[in-house]
Amino acid sequence: MRLANPRARLRLVAVGLTLVVLAFTVRLLQVQAVDADTFAGKAAVNRYLTVPLAAERGTVSSRDGTALATTVDAYDITADPYLFTPKQTGVKDAPAKAAALLAPIVGEDEAELTAKLERKKTRYVLLARQQTPQAWRKIKELKATLADKAAQKEGANVLAGVYQEKHAKRVYPNKELASSVLGFVNSEGKGGAGIEAKLDKELAGRDGKITYAQSGGRQVPTAGVQEHPAKPGSDIDLTLDRDIQWSAQQAITEQVEKSKADRGYVIVQDTRTGELLAMANAPGFDPNDLSGADGDALGNAAVQDAFEPGSTSKLMSMAAVLEEGKATPATAVTVPNRLKRADRSFADDVDHPTWHLTLNGVLAKSSNIGTILATEQLGKTQQEANEVLYGYLRKFGMGSPTGLGLPGETDGLLAKPDKWSASQQYTIPFGQGLSLNAVQAASIYSTIANGGVRTEPSLVRGQTGPDGRYSAAPEAKKTRVVSEKTARTLARMLESVVDDMEGTGIVAKIPGYRVGGKTGTANRVDPETGRYNGYTSSFAGFAPADKPRVTVYCAVQNPKKGSYFGSDVCGPVYKQVMKFALKSLQIPPTGADPARLPVLAGSAD
């Protein structure tokens, strides 16, 4: 048999292949050139989207582990404006219809939502922040209903381009409790004040991102996902005692309201460690609802307000006199009714005949004149005395940062001695002409309570990282200010203020406990005018006086109703908070008898 000629078959195969290649070429030209825009639009619908994954913000807790600031599930509602165009939805007014459905659920203005959904040249818009899981559930149910109707040709799914991003919401379970310390988180998820701002980087963690393909507003599960997980923030453990904070906040709030004052603050400090057990401000605010907050109350006035301390500052003057060996508690001091110095005639808070006091009596009766006479002994000249006193004020922390590093914190004001005016060199010894904040004021008394060693105040005990490891805060800096002997002597002198009937602070007596304290009533500088207007009332002290554990400092700014004396305004607050703190910390009385140093010169008692 003879085989057929293969040339005909080969020619046929060649023609067929040519036609196939030609068809592919024509189609390729059509896709890449003729219909390029059409296919690019279709591809855009199925493009990959990259959306952020918000990191969970760390929890802030009190020293007993109770959450003061935490997070709950919430969702940011987002959208892809491209999927709301008439070409994609088949509806001319899809943005308006979608906005009408979303506005009552997310609580946003309908017109603003419409404008966001109509934006050009973007595939991502944020419609509403931190919506509840219930709100997102309603949106999902609406989307499902519209999708079913669209499948049955009964309308368009105008919510197909609406998505969610999990973005936890910051909540404060105790509402106003410690709000000035905690601060708040702003609408952008960043710390706006207090600890939330100071430790924002640690609390915030690091956001992640996820990239996925979507088609018609839905994720394509078979297209693969690229995810960079978010790194959660660290949990912060504060030194605050929740119960003592509550007691301090309640006491100062009631007194500020009763006195019709501008504001007030209470500081409670552990005398041994420098840890702040409470930092209360009044008025306060609820960080869960900033819309109803007074703008002036959103900060932390206890560290942001600089004010003249008045007579509570006399403790530093007495410390200098005792440490320099210029007098003892029993040294006689003759106190006239008036004392002429520089360009002024100085007086005490009450007119009196010539007093014959001891140095202890000068402190107990809070004599301005007696304090001037005592501090004049610090040097051979007034300038030398000023230099010595200035050195002690600086060692007590005046004019320096507290170490807390909170936003807006003031260092206070303490000019160098060569800048003191003629009157300042006599007013500074009794607390006028310098300024401090409430934490600095409390630290003065904690220094004496701690045997003359100043321990830098602290507010953070440590933090737990995302890996679960706990890191304790660095040990507080300690500075020897006066000797232990001088500190013990001053503690006994402070007892006379509270225990002796001649003292100005007898209202602060606590049955069964030895209490040391000091009243303060200072002329107040109005921050708006820069002139004296009203008073700063204060009370500071510690207990038990012979074995100190707790320092309490109270100050009230510009009380307008009732008395303005520190003993009347802040004495009761001090007593209330101190009693609660001693009980809460289970600190027993020492059982020792009070020191009872003499107040009047020549007195045996």
pLDDT in tens, 111-134: 999 999 999 888 889 999 888 889
Decide: 515 and 498 in contact? Cβ < 8 Å. Answer: yes
Q: What H or E segment, with its residue span, contains residue 72?
A: strand 67-72
Q: Give the residue with greater pLDDT, 294 vs 518.
A: 518
Does the active-site annotation cover 563? no
> What pLDDT was estimated at residue 47?
63
> What pLDDT was estimated at residue 42?
52
User: Which one-letter DSSP state was computed for residue 151?
Assistant: H
CA dist 188 and 485 (Å) reads: 54
**Residues 250, 251, 254, 255: is their CA dihedral positive or negative?**
negative
Of these residues, 61, 179, 311, 367, which one is catalytic? 311
pLDDT-derived band at 33, boundaries 50, 70, 90: low
pTM for the predicted model, two decimal places: 0.82
CA dist 71 and 48 (Å) reads: 30
Percent of the chain with pLDDT over 90: 69
- Condensed to tens digits (0 to 9), the pLDDT of residues 254-270 reads 999 999 999 999 999 99
- Does the pLDDT of residue 605 top 50, yes or no? no
> What pLDDT was estimated at residue 72?
87
